[in-house]
Copies of this chain bind each other. A is one copy, B any other.
Amino acid sequence: MIVQKYKDMLSGKSVIRQLSEFATARGTEIGYENVFDFSLGNPSVAVPQEFTDALVHMLTTKSTQELHGYSPSLGITKVREAIAASLEKRFGIPYRAEHIFMASGAAGALAHAFRLVTEPGDEILTFAPFFPEYHPYVDLTGAVLKVVPPDTDCFQINFEAFEEMITEKTMAILVNTPNNPSGVVYSTETVKKLAQVLTKKSEEYGHDIFLISDEPYREIIFEGVDAPCMSKFYDNTIMCYSFSKSLSVPGERIGYVAINPACAEAATMVNMCGQISRGIGHNCPPSIIQLAVAQVLDQTADLSVYETNMNLLYDELVKLGFTCVKPGGTFYIFPKALEEDAKVFCQKALKYDLILVPGDSFGAPGYFRMAYCIDTEKVERSLAALRKFVAEEYPECAAQ
């Protein structure tokens, strides 16, 4: 008998995926260059040349067994050492190899983090707006994801709602800063306050509450933005990192879990990740990709295009009368729709070949997401379409 639960999931197709498919189909009609496709968070910039060079150099000089042989289940030791050293240098936290577990991208890292600290029935709290995949990621472990409603003024944390929702069953808090979909970066004030609440509640409930920090956008921070490292403010922090966005290599599935050395059983938890892997078929990320990223830890792709795109869009949106929190990083922006139902709003936008994603699945109905990891030239051309869309569909706003 095939398992009904997974079969049922097939009918619940993601809105983002549907919109992306619409964009592709529309592209075959009018040329994809004429579709202003803001649906997918798929990095558009080139991979750093150093990454490619590292791969070619290894392939032409090293033995195949050294490159493609089994990696230890926790990751290749010298890769873990290099990552720990890089994190220590950057954040001043004494990470060592024993605190690092190599994982298949952020999804692989989170799959381990959730299983480290929750059992079926336990609660994980996250803050809207949030990445919709958190639902299947958490739900399928048997734990329960509870979503704290957004603070729509600034998309920092709605602490009032948070303190009402945290309970004795809350074992972990899942944060994503810089945030998908809002582009907002949590401020030092927010992070300090979050740490205070978690310390207080851990004492009150008599058990640790872990902070799972999903950081795939860590390297995409815009000018002048305060971007604190979560682990510096809270001992029980499990950092989940992916190189997908920083190096533009999402297909290679490479990232890591870094357990704060100040966490009481940090090294044990890393070893436990190796056990969790056995149950979920993880094993280790591809060995040659582990070896390659270790050689470019201080590099990123040219991420400046994202800030250029953000500024173009933000300025135009504000000019057109949109309410919009200015992103501090990522390649997303999350304005308020011009009518109550963002789904209707995004549907109307399709007429102008603008592919926008309604905020409902991100836990923030009434808002919409634009992923601007596309060519700047296309962003520039999209502004006219945006102006036309607003002028024709929402003349009362355009007139303001």
A3 adjacent to B272 (CB under 8 Å): yes
Please tell me if A286 contacts chain B, counting CB pairs below 8 Å. yes
- Please report the C-alpha to C-alpha distance between residue A282 and residue B128 in the assembled complex, in whole angstroms: 25
A116 lies within 8 A of chain B by Cβ:
yes
> Which of the segments A55-63, A84-92, A173-181, A336-344 contacts the partner chain?
A55-63
Interface residue range, chain A: 35 or more
Q: Mark A105-144, 1 if CB is under 8 A from B, else 0.
A: 1011111100111110000000000000100110111000
Q: Work out how many copies of this chain go into the complex.
A: 2
Verify B107–A250 contact, CB threshold 8 A.
Answer: no
Binds B, one of A44-52, A216-224, A363-371, A377-385: A44-52
A271 interfacial by beta-carbon distance below 8 Å: yes
Q: Does B1 contact A117, Cβ atoms closer than 8 Å?
A: yes
Partner of A111 from B2, B3, B118, B280 at Cβ < 8 Å: B280
B-side contacts of A278, CB under 8 Å: 9, 107, 133, 136-137, 140
- Within 8 Å of chain B (Cβ to Cβ): is A31? no
Q: How far is the CB of A173 from chain B (nearest CB, A)?
A: 14
Decide if A42 is an interface residue (CB 8 Å cutoff).
yes
On chain B, the residues within 8 Å of A70 by CB distance are 42, 250-251
Bitwise, A264-284 to B at CB < 8 A (1) or not (0) is: 010011011001101111111
Q: Does A351 contact B (CB under 8 A)?
A: no
Near B by CB (< 8 A), chain A positions 273-320 give 275-276, 278-289
Residues of B within 8 A of A42 (CB): 69-70
Asked if A118 contacts B280 (CB within 8 A), the reply is no
In this complex, the member of A119, A139, A287 whose beta carbon has the largest number of chain B beta carbons within 10 angstroms is: A287
Is A65 an interface residue when CB atoms closer than 8 A count as contact?
yes
Q: Are B71 and A251 in contact (CB under 8 A)?
A: yes
When the two chains form their complex, are residues A251 and B68 in contact, meaning their CB atoms are under 8 A apart?
yes
A residues 5-51 touching B (CB-CB < 8 Å): 5-7, 9-10, 42-44, 46-47
- Shortest Cβ gap from A1 to chain B (Å): 5
Q: Is A64 close to B, CB under 8 A?
A: yes
Q: Is B108 in contact with A281, judged by CB distance below 8 angstroms?
A: yes
A279 lies within 8 A of B104 (CB)? no
CA distance A231 to B174 in the complex (A): 44
Known: A115-B3, A276-B6. A283 touches B252 (CB 8 A): no
- A254's nearest neighbour on chain B, judged by CB, is B286
Compute how far the CA of A251 lies from the CA of B76 in the bound complex, rounded to whole angstroms: 10
Q: A110-B281, A279-B140 are in contact. Are A116 and B3 (CB under 8 A)?
A: yes
Q: A249 an interface residue at 8 Å Cβ cutoff?
A: yes
| B59/A253 in contact, CB under 8 A | no
User: A390 interface residue, CB < 8 Å from B?
Assistant: no
Confirm or deny: A355 has a beta carbon within 8 angstroms of a beta carbon on chain B.
no
Interface contact A268-B56, CB-CB below 8 Å: no
Say whether B286 contacts A253, CB under 8 Å: yes
Given known contacts A265-B2, A272-B3, A278-B140, is B68 in contact with A107 (CB within 8 Å)? no
Flag A232-255 by CB within 8 Å of B: 1 or 0 each: 000000000000000011111110
- Say if the beta carbon of A81 comes within 8 Å of chain B: no
| B7 and A288 within 8 A (CB) | no
Q: Which 6 A-B pairs have the closest CB atoms?
A: A111-B281, A140-B279, A251-B287, A47-B64, A136-B278, A280-B280
Q: Supply 13 further A-B pairs (C-beta < 8 A) apart from A2-B208, A6-B276.
A: A2-B268, A3-B116, A3-B119, A10-B275, A55-B59, A69-B251, A104-B253, A107-B281, A139-B279, A251-B288, A252-B288, A253-B284, A280-B282
12 residue pairs of the A-B complex, CB under 8 angstroms, read A1-B207, A3-B117, A10-B268, A10-B271, A56-B56, A67-B251, A68-B248, A105-B283, A111-B280, A140-B278, A140-B280, A251-B287
